[in-house]
Amino acid sequence: MVQKAKILLVDDRPENLLALEAILSALDQTLVRASSGEEALKALLTDDFAVILLDVQMPGMDGFETAAHIKRRERTRDIPIIFLTAINHGPHHTFRGYAAGAVDYISKPFDPWVLRAKVSVFVELYMKNCQLREQAALLRLQLEGGGKTAVGGAKEPAGLLAELSARLAAVEEQAEALSKQLDDDSADAAAVATAAHLERKLTGLRRALDALEPGTGSAPSLPSQN
């Protein structure tokens, strides 16, 4: 069973959170509410999120300050943030949002379909990264246990390598399809860059896996998962 991605919704108004849940429920992911910046930071201490929808205008810690805290934490600095605001103060206000680390800045009222489409891209990228980390973990097990023997003294690397290769091929195919979709839809530059980074990691993992095939020599180093 594929684990669902978590999406963090941050807004001090319950009716806005309810509206976001109604729009994003079709994605069939786990939606987590936070009614303040402080509550959002608390949720980020324990859970991993695919994307954060963050209201700018909140009492106490506003969206800009909340985003600054998120980007300062090593655990959360790479989580995409989409700012939502009911006030348009012009280019300077928008620039402040991007400077705070946002990947997108959407003014209310927004088109529900557009918001859902933008969020779905980051959910897909997050899921592909999770699959990639799983393949890397299996590959590390193979590297670390390459010299060990199975019950009866027979080595069994071929079966595991074949399974790893098949799983990786499936992720590669999905990542390629997602990249083509981003190109066709003229998606946000941040989403395109994230997809390109994912493809580079997949290429490195494929090279490492290929180097494990019989007769290829010493074990390779794995690509970074950052």
Same domain, 130 and 45: no
Where the chain has pLDDT below 50, the residues are 1, 147-155, 216-223, 225
Can you tell me the distance from the alpha carbon of 114 to that of 120, in angstroms, rounded to the nearest whole number? 10
Give domain status of residue 222, yes or no.
no
pTM, entire model:
0.65
Same domain, 74 and 50: yes
Of the candidates 212, 131, 217, 218, the one whose C-alpha atom is nearest the C-alpha of residue 169 is: 131
Task: State residue 128's pLDDT score.
Answer: 84
Can you tell me the distance from the alpha carbon of 137 to that of 143, in angstroms, rounded to the nearest whole number? 10
Cβ-based neighbours of 78, under 8 Å, separated by 6 or more = 226
Express each pLDDT in 37-88 by its tens digit.
Answer: 999 999 999 999 999 999 988 998 999 899 999 999 998 988 999 998 876 6
Give domain status of residue 224, yes or no.
no
Task: State residue 5's pLDDT score.
Answer: 94
Give domain status of residue 89, yes or no.
yes
Task: State residue 152's pLDDT score.
Answer: 45
Same domain, 10 and 101: yes
- Look up the CATH number of the domain holding residue 164: 1.20.58
Same domain, 76 and 24: yes
Of the candidates 79, 92, 73, the one whose C-alpha atom is nearest the C-alpha of residue 32 is: 79
Q: What percent of the chain has pLDDT over 90?
A: 33
How far is C-alpha 152 from the chain's CA centre? 42
Determine the structural domain holding residue 180 and report its residue range.
Answer: 117-211
Residue type, 126: Y
State whether residue 114 is helix, strand or coil.
Answer: helix
**Domain final residue, candidates 62, 87, 110:** 110
Can you tell me the distance from the alpha carbon of 106 to that of 104, in angstroms, rounded to the nearest whole number? 7
The count of domains in the chain is: 2
Task: State residue 142's pLDDT score.
Answer: 66
Give domain status of residue 38, yes or no.
yes
Task: State residue 31's pLDDT score.
Answer: 97
* Residue corresponding to tokens 């919704």: 9
